[in-house]
Amino acid sequence: MNEKRQVQALQRENENLRVDIAKLEAPERIYTVATKQLGMVAPTYVLYGGQSSDSQKEAAHTGR
């Protein structure tokens, strides 16, 4: 009986920890901590990779 109660207590603790993790991973919370506590600023624009030489050649041929 004692082991069963211990297992149930650990399962409850595990679920509470999962909830805590979800709260800590929330994008809004991360943004707030980064900007308010760490002084970070959001970029004005974001670059997603560069064009490869093949992509540049295709863009030149198609007028892009």
Whether 5 contacts 11, CB under 8 Å: no
pLDDT at 46: 85
What is the pLDDT at residue 53? Answer: 56
pTM (two decimals):
0.55
Bigger pLDDT: 31 vs 52: 31
Residues 6+ apart with CB under 8 A from 40: 34
Predicted confidence (pLDDT) per residue in 2-46, tens digit = 999 999 999 999 999 999 999 999 999 999 999 999 999 988 888
Which alpha helices (H) appear in the chain, and where do they start and end?
2-24, 27-32, 53-62
DSSP class of 63: T
